Amino acid sequence: MKLVRYGTHGSERPALIDADGNLRDLSAHVADIDGAALSPESLAALAAIDTASLPLVEGEQRYGACVGQVGKFVCIGLNYSDHAAETGTTVPPEPVVFMKATSAISGPNDAIIKPRGSTKLDWEVELAVVIGSHVAYADEAEAASAIAGYCVCNDVSERAFQIERHGQWTKGKGCDSFGPIGPWLVTADEVARPNDLAMWLEVNGKRYQDGNTRTMVYKPAFIVSYLSQFMSLQPGDVISTGTPPGVGMGQRPEVYLDVGDRVELGIQGLGTQSQVVVAAD
């Protein structure tokens, strides 16, 4: 299934995309596409619905973040060896873990807000994993079974805040609008090869990132298992798993986003995003 949330910001409704690409409302079956809706039992019930019986949503709609009420937004850094090389670092012997604020989460086509004082606003197309079952101290098999689905994430980053302002990466990763997810969550049963998905990102029509999840060092099931040794994971948690090469910081000379720039990105089978950069109020 392709599960979505549509409508104005803060008032999104749950829905799915049917086999013909139509938007079908799920409000009679679940309150939201959130942790409760992503349990194995709930997903099985949703999959059993005759989609033709669901209300058809017509007209152009805003898509919100594909997961609502996210509890944790965990990210993995330097998880592609070629991306690590372009940043002048090496892949660490264990995953680099950092958090984005859940207030950074936005819809796939919402604006990227350039923070006040930003000078190095960057992009990162990433595969995000969405948790569907409580998991702690899991092996990889248990971790894989806890994955409800996958979605596209743009790990927007402010490199001066991240690297030059001292301390942890959080300052450059958690700003408002720095975590667009969606357009939809594709359930795990429909993503046969999450370790072999083409991914790309363009800025103003120029392609900067053109990679594949097969070059990921630490794979999704391992990442979920690894994280579960340090923190329990709950349904609705989102884990963004790193980016391939081609980020702005890796260009020579470096290239960064400015107000008016358009970023477009996508992952094979998981949909596309499109964002315009605007100035913070």
3-state SS track over the chain: CEEEEECCCCCCEEEEECCCCCEEECCCCCCCCCCHHHCHHHHHHHHCCCHHHCCEECCCCCECCCCCCCCCEEEEECCEHHHHHHCCCCCCCCCEEEECCHHHEECCCCCEEECCCCCCEECCEEEEEEECCCECCCCHHHHHHCEEEEEEEECCEEHHHHHHCCCCCHHHHCCCCCEEECCCEEEHHHCCCCCCCEEEEEECCEEEEEEEHHHECCCHHHHHHHHCCCCCECCCCEEECCCCCCCHHHCCCCCCECCCCEEEEEECCCEEEEEEEEECC
- Edge-first strand order for the sheet with 238-240 is 56-57, 23-25, 13-17, 2-6, 185-187, 147-154, 125-131, 238-240, 73-77, 96-99
Measured distance CA(107)–CA(185) in Å, rounded: 12
Q: What is the pTM of this model?
A: 0.96
pLDDT per position as a tens digit, 202-217: 999 999 999 999 999 9
CA distance 149 to 39: 11
Q: Which of 114, 95, 124 is nearest to 273 (CA)?
A: 124
Count of other CB atoms within 10 angstroms of residue 5:
25
- For every one of its 281 residues, what pLDDT tens digit does the chain have, with 9 covering 90 and above? 999 999 999 999 999 999 999 999 999 999 999 999 999 999 999 999 999 999 999 999 999 999 999 999 999 998 987 777 777 777 789 999 999 999 999 999 999 999 999 999 999 999 999 999 999 999 999 999 999 999 999 999 999 999 999 888 999 999 999 999 999 999 999 999 999 999 999 999 999 999 999 999 999 999 999 999 999 999 999 999 999 999 999 999 999 999 999 999 999 999 999 999 999 99
Q: What are the pLDDT digits (tens) for 74-121?
A: 999 989 877 777 777 777 899 999 999 999 999 999 999 999 999 999
Domain 73-279 has CATH 3.90.850.10: yes
pLDDT score recorded for residue 231: 98
Q: Are 271 and 152 in contact (CB under 8 A)?
A: yes
Give start-end residues of each CATH 3.90.850.10 domain in the chain: 73-279
pLDDT of the residue at 181: 98
Structure tokens at 74: 């965990």
For residue 57, what are the β-bridge partners? 23
Letter string b/e over residues 156-188, b meaning 16 or more CB atoms within 10 A of that residue's CB: bbbbbbbeeeeeebebbbbbebbbbbbbbbbbb
Cis peptide before 253 (omega within 30 of 0): yes
d(CA 247, CA 67): 26
